[in-house]
Structure 1
Amino acid sequence: MNTRHLLIAVALAATSGIVMADTAYAQSTAAQGKTRAQVIEELKQARADGSIAIGDADFPKTPAFVSTKTRAQVIAELKEAQARGLVNVGDAYYPKLPEFVSTKSRAQVQAELAEYQKNPDPQGLYRGY
């Protein structure tokens, strides 16, 4: 007997949910006031003018590119940037570092080397700090 009551309760709950959903749908469509044909036409218009995305490939919709420079101007700008070292060729050149300029003369570096060879650091370069 308990199973029978349980099945009846489940059936009533399911049908009441369907009735409630149908009522909510009817109220929302009545509030909008558009027919199915109007909505389809609006969708077609939105697809035609590009204001709605059809797939992932065209999202977000970007305006068509219109160049304001000639090919010769772009090539001239590229050559100028390459001459100034502003164009990276690959990952090995990123970020662009300024060229090293030594602040010591060759004689000063050789004197430092001779001093180090007389009194070498027992730990070497790797002291751990």
Structure 2
Amino acid sequence: MNTRHLLIALALAATSGAVLAQNVSDQARNVQGKTRAQVIEELKQARADGTLTVGDYDYPRLPAFVSTKTRAQVIEELKVANAQGLVNVGDAYYPKLPEFVSTKSRAQVQAELVEYQKNPDPQGLYRGY
């Protein structure tokens, strides 16, 4: 019984392999691709256009930068930005934080100081209170 099953399985495997091979060869005949010469021409054209990327260095390809301002306009914008304090110089000023504006009066702050001196909590500083 086992030999019979083995022979049937082998016959099915051989038949299915032949059918698959025939389907692949039929598909290969039906596909009309480009010739080698056409592919080489397209490659030459892509190199000439600059649309051929090699590796990750120039991917994604960005359009060439075209300035819409004159040098004088850019210098004037830089002067204005410097005057407003918008130009960062090094890491010490990054990110630019808004200027602190207190919401409490001087009397309120002094009252908080007196209260703290009565009941100091040295761990409160580290707990974020």
Normalising by structure 2, we get a TM-score of 0.61
The answer for the alignment partner of 1:77 in structure 2 is 77
Match of 2:97, SS state, is coil
Deviation of 1:57 (Å): 1.8
The answer for the alignment partner of 1:27 in structure 2 is 29
Counting aligned pairs with the same residue, the percent is 66
For residues 78-110 of structure 1, give each alpha carbon's deviation from its aligned partner in whole angstroms, at most 9, with x where no partner exists: 1211221222223332222121233423x6544
Distance 1:115 1:55, change over 3 A: closer
For 2:26 and 2:71, the matched residues in 1 are separated by 60
The answer for the alignment partner of 1:120 in structure 2 is 119
Name the Cα RMSD after superposition.
3.3
For 1:112 and 1:49, the matched residues in 2 are separated by 72
Segments ≥4 residues shifted beyond 6 Å? none
Gaps spanning 5+ residues in structure 1: where? 1-12
The answer for the alignment partner of 2:88 in structure 1 is 88
Letter in 2 for 1:104: S
For 2:77 and 2:26, the matched residues in 1 are separated by 63
For 1:59 and 1:76, the matched residues in 2 are separated by 34
Normalising by structure 1, we get a TM-score of 0.61
For 1:26 and 1:113, the matched residues in 2 are separated by 87
Distance 1:25 1:71, change over 3 A: farther
Distance 1:114 1:48, change over 3 A: same
Gaps spanning 5+ residues in structure 2: where? 1-13
Match of 2:64, SS state, is coil
Residues 1-129 of structure 1 aligned to structure 2 (within 5 Å): 20=21, 23=25, 26-27=28-29, 30-32=31-33, 34-102=34-102, 103-105=104-106, 109-110=109-110, 112-114=112-114, 116-117=116-117, 119-121=118-120, 123-124=121-122, 126=124, 128=127
Deviation of 1:48 (Å): 1.2
Give the aligned length: 109
Match of 1:98, SS state, is coil
Match of 1:89, SS state, is coil
